[in-house]
Chain A
Amino acid sequence: MRRRWLVQPDHLIPVVSLVVVVVAFASAPALSGRPLQPFDVYNALQGFAQLGLLALAIGITMIAGEFDLSVVGSYAVGGMLAVSAGATSPALGVLAAVAAGAAIGAVQGGLIARLRIPSMPVTLATYIALLGLAYAMSGGLSKSYPNSDATLWVDQTLAGVFSPRSLLTLAIFVIAAVVLGGTKWGRELRAIGGDRRASRVAGVTVDGLIVWLFTVSGALAALGGALLSYSYASANPDPGLQPLILAAVAALLGGVSLAGGRGAPLGLLAGTLSVALLAQIVAVTALPDFTTQLLYAALLAVIVIVESPGLRALSDRFRARRADG
């Protein structure tokens, strides 16, 4: 029974990724020449906190068979709003960011659900618009955050390896895992990703679910951006495509399939940790930056080739050829 649980791709992939990366992390001293320190783990967890909410946001939309490209836009705008509105009250800034992210997501979800438009072009367009909005809000430059107390608080070391930011991110992952694992929404999300038509026929309220899905992903991304901008004490209007791509990689390493129907928040957690640890390994061992890029390329290539329907058909044909009389 346990073996069967492991063999499923949405469990196998994140477990393997995480185990491999943790082992590599633990053996990093062999390459770097100095032993691992709690600071290294702290840094890795900070990296996790930076990417985590983005990966969760894009991950849950991928589980449902959609793709929210606008998360980086909400990330940037969330950061901007938090810095602007949270100068005296950081909590207010966070609230403003989350509300904005949720609103953006709700509008997109509405368009996608009611008009049945594929999510990619809609979220891509929204991403561009949000990028512009972030630029407009800051005049094209980074906007600095004056509240240094908040900045220090958010990143202070707890138990040597954690920070309020990474703990909060972890907590949100756990909440997501509990909500999706413990309620009917979890299976409904996977259902609409696995077979949209069958889900509708079976009675799932697909449209409402999609609106909620994008609302949540927008809110999560905005929250992530808000926390990051507090940490950096400034909001960057243009983080570029890199965070989006890293978030997608984290999701894929977390066992989510682009076709939808597969994946869970804990898997996404493992995937994000893998990405963060990988980055930290490269930093610790002073490997050149491009190693991470080549590593990601290799990992993704394996995933895409293994998942492609063409390959499966090829193996079917091979088996059938042996049966040819």
Chain B
Amino acid sequence: MTAVPVRPSASVVSLALPLIALVALVGLAVTTHRFLSLDNARAILASTAFVGITAVGATLVMIAGSGVSLATSQTATVAGMFFLATQQYGLVTAVPVALVTGVALTGLQGAVIGYWHANPIVLTIAAGFAIGGTTTWFSGGTPVYPEVVAYEVLNSTPLGLPVAVYVLLGVTVLAQFTLRGTTPGRQLYLIGSNRAAARAAGLPVGRVTVIAWAFFGACIALTGVFLASFNTSATATLGGTLTLDAIAAVLVGGTAISGGRGSAVRTLAGAVLIAVISDVLLLRGFSTGIQILVKGILVLAVVVIVHLHATRSHR
């Protein structure tokens, strides 16, 4: 008998369940004390900004079929360190320095993955070690302090929202436009959908992969810049839990880890959703542990639903 996986309930599950969950969430949120306030809304947006910027970049990489990077935190750290170390030349220099760092380090990984089809997990683990080790070496293990404080403007809050939120929105728009409106963006989707077919059709797999990773590198650098400005000094732990947080946001946004589908806007929504849920739980008095637990379950649920939805037409 041909093994045809029959899942008659798949399409029902993929529509009904998220809808029910969303309704439940909205109900829960509006009945939570202090949820419906401007301050709270601002807090939610602010907490998504740092991770969100990186997550949008990570979306491009995942769409391209390259999966995930495990070197994100270390890259953000080193970009932040370079940012602080060049403060005396002003923001005009310091920010591009950080960006170039991020783009160069990450773009190089993208090249090895795109042209030689190297395994992204192992490669980014290796890169993480290399970047982390070199950073500790050069910084001598001591925190990096800026000589001059030129980054204050980055910590300001025009219209009550941190600058990072505006940058997040800008990056999202740029990423979305690249994905939907440019040739490399379209090619990203195709390569992620079927790399062999893309190659047989003569699409520039290597070049497009590098573009995706370079964009990702720029996003990581931006997050590093904001983290450094926020913390006013940079140690080896500046990147924190960025690696996993970014991946979680991308997955909750509905991007498939196998590639070929997803969008920057959805990742933004995913990041916001995570923040909203954590916020509701916090306001209702649940511990950090429960918030993280729920986040994990959320990621699992979305991953399963996205997979069922994507494979329903494949027989």
A contacts, CB < 8 Å to B? 67, 111, 115-118, 120-122, 124-140, 237, 241, 245, 248-249, 252, 258-259, 288-294, 296-301, 303-305, 307-311, 314
B297: chain A residues at CB < 8 Å are 125, 129
B5: Cβ under 8 A from any A Cβ:
yes
Q: Taking A121-B257, A291-B133 as contacts, is the C-beta distance between A296 and B116 under 8 angstroms?
A: no
- The count of A-to-B residue pairs whose CB atoms sit within 8 angstroms is 169
CB-CB under 8 A from B257, the residues of chain A are 118, 120-121
- Compute how far the CA of A215 lies from the CA of B205 in the bound complex, rounded to whole angstroms: 38
Specify the chain B residue showing the minimal Cβ separation from A252.
B122
Give which listed residue, A127, A258, A291, A299, contacts B119 with CB less than 8 A. A258
Residues of B within 8 A of A292 (CB): 133
Contact-residue bracket for chain B: 35 or more
Q: Is the CB of A133 within 8 A of B121?
A: no
Residues of chain B within 8 A of A298, CB atoms compared = 130
Does the CB pair A300–B126 fall under 8 Å? yes
* Cβ-neighbour of B122 out of A120, A303, A311 (below 8 A): A303
Interfacial chain A residues near B232, Cβ < 8 Å = none
The reply to whether B289 and A308 form a contact with Cβ atoms under 8 Å apart is: no
Interface residues, chain B, with chain A CB atoms under 8 Å away? 5, 67-68, 70, 112, 115-119, 121-123, 125-130, 132-137, 141, 243-244, 247-248, 251, 257-258, 287-297, 299-300, 303-304, 307-308, 311
Min Cβ gap A252→B in Å is 7
CB distance from B107 to the nearest CB of A (A): 16
Interface pair B290/A132, CB less than 8 Å apart: yes
Most chain A beta-carbon contacts within 10 A, residue among B5, B133, B134, B251: B133
A-B contact pairs, 15 of them (CB 8 A): A124-B247, A125-B300, A127-B296, A131-B296, A136-B292, A259-B119, A288-B141, A294-B130, A296-B129, A297-B130, A300-B122, A304-B119, A305-B116, A307-B119, A310-B117
Could you tell me if A133 and B118 are in contact, using CB atoms closer than 8 angstroms?
A: no
Minimum CB–CB distance for A278 against chain B, Å: 12
Report Cα–Cα, A126/B301, bound state, in Å. 10
What residue in chain B is nearest A123 (Cβ atoms)? B300
Set of chain A residues within 8 Å of B296, measured between Cβ atoms: 125-132
User: Besides A116-B5, A292-B133, A300-B125, 10 other CB < 8 A contacts?
Assistant: A117-B303, A126-B296, A127-B244, A129-B299, A131-B296, A132-B295, A140-B287, A258-B122, A309-B116, A310-B117
| Closest chain A CB from B201 CB (angstroms) | 18
